[in-house]
Amino acid sequence: MGQKILIVDDAAFMRMMIKDILTKNGFDVVGEAADGVQAVEKYKETQPDLVTMDITMPEMDGITALKEIKKINPAAKIIMCSAMGQQAMVIDAIQAGAKDFIVKPFQADRVIEAISKTLG
């Protein structure tokens, strides 16, 4: 059984891309969410080993969702994903407890490297 991963992104095709990369590499995608509110709910439901979290989303952005998940489980492992190479957002995410950061468009090897490193 692979490690359980929750994918959070408001773009369905991005979730599909990440899911494809992960399943091909033996990970178990236990859920998907399209915004931060869903992400927090799905996290409680699925208790994943790791979350890939988009930053810019409707309802609740990724950094807020990251903070909410960290309240539920301070040991939660979350990797942020964003198309914007905005330094401030990256710093905010890391300070809020994100373990790593992946820039879109995704490169499969970079995604797997970040996840493997975070899961140890």
This prediction has a pTM of 0.93
Sign of the C-alpha dihedral computed for residues 71, 38, 46 and 105 taken in this order: negative
**What are the distances in angstroms from CA 60 to CA 56, 69, 106?**
9, 12, 23
C-alpha 102/C-alpha 71 separation (Å) is 23
C-alpha 39/C-alpha 33 separation (Å) is 5
What's the mean pLDDT in 113-118?
96
What's the mean pLDDT in 6-25?
96
pLDDT at 89: 83
pLDDT by residue (tens digit) across 37-67? 999 999 999 999 999 999 999 999 999 999 9
**Confidence at 86, pLDDT banded by 50, 70, 90:** low
Contact between 112 and 79 under an 8 Å Cβ cutoff? The reply is no
